[in-house]
Copies of this chain bind each other. A is one copy, B any other.
């Protein structure tokens, strides 16, 4: 029988003891758990980056996987710890909107506030709920505890608005850069399948001081450093440059506006 999988996604970095302490807590409670690192290099405090990463990485995992996400600027305050059930998987973390993309994609989901002291360490600190609340909760779930033991269902979990592009006239839309990846690819919020016409007809995508009109099939077909639009692996239109950092070339970051015009 496969071991229960617990994934970890945090902004803790890898030079401190935080991630190690969480892993120790999990393995003490659920020695059989298979801990899988997704990322510990999220930008500190960036709930929106974490929301995107969790939304893109977790759908590829098997049913029953338990995902622990700790990006938690409000630790120790009134924000609640929650357990989300969505798309057959479990998500544990703070109620700060970090699961918004997962929940929106799943359509329906259940959210419980984690209040059961048995799911927490005996002493809960004010500043490290990754170790004291989220890790032990995941481990108890992995050991076979029922989700309902976590606590009561809540209906008012924080759900971030995930902005779709807005149509500004008959042939034009305004969207936004959601994410810049390590290679400098700029992932926009234009879903490629909603704009299939750009595959066959002229278009212009304006970002920063550039106007792009080339849709590439892969990176390698373009000249070194050339900017182009491509359908990314997440299904969004991306702005890329072959073996170069598109975002640095354009001087734009997350949140930069993107204008699409179809001709």
- A62: Cβ under 8 A from any B Cβ: yes
Known: A39-B15, A231-B126, A233-B125. A73 touches B243 (CB 8 A): yes
For A89-123 the 0/1 string (1 means CB < 8 A from B) is 00000000000000000000000000000000000
Chain B residue contacts of A200, Cβ below 8 A: none
Closest residue to A45 on the B side, CB-wise? B243
Chain B residue contacts of A7, Cβ below 8 A: 20, 23
Q: Are B132 and A44 touching (Cβ within 8 A)?
A: no
- A9: Cβ under 8 A from any B Cβ: yes
A74-82, A165-173, A204-212, A247-255: which lies at the interface: A74-82
Complex Cα–Cα for A216 and B245 (A): 42
Chain B residue contacts of A230, Cβ below 8 A: 126-127
- A175: Cβ under 8 A from any B Cβ: no
Q: Are B41 and A36 touching (Cβ within 8 A)?
A: no
Complex Cα–Cα for A243 and B45 (A): 7
Q: Are B14 and A40 touching (Cβ within 8 A)?
A: yes
- A159: Cβ under 8 A from any B Cβ: no
Query: B45, B53, B125: which contacts A17 (Cβ < 8 A)?
Result: B53
Tell me, rounded to whole Å, the shortest Cβ–Cβ distance linking A214 to chain B. Answer: 14
Q: Are A38 and B62 touching (Cβ within 8 A)?
A: no
Place the interface of chain A in its size category. Answer: 35 or more
Known: A44-B182, A74-B220. A233 touches B35 (CB 8 A): no
Q: Are B125 and A27 touching (Cβ within 8 A)?
A: no
Query: B11, B43, B76: which contacts A217 (Cβ < 8 A)?
Result: B76
Chain B residue contacts of A125, Cβ below 8 A: 231-233
Query: B28, B41, B56, B62: which contacts A31 (Cβ < 8 A)?
Result: B62
* A48-67 at interface with B (beta carbon < 8 Å): 52-53, 56-62, 65
In the assembled complex, 5 residue pairs joining A and B whose CB atoms fall closer than 8 Å, in A order, are A14-B14, A16-B181, A27-B62, A126-B218, A126-B230
Known: A126-B233, A127-B218. 17 other contacts (CB 8 A): A2-B31, A14-B14, A15-B43, A17-B56, A18-B181, A19-B38, A20-B60, A22-B60, A25-B60, A27-B61, A27-B62, A27-B65, A60-B131, A77-B221, A126-B218, A127-B232, A127-B238
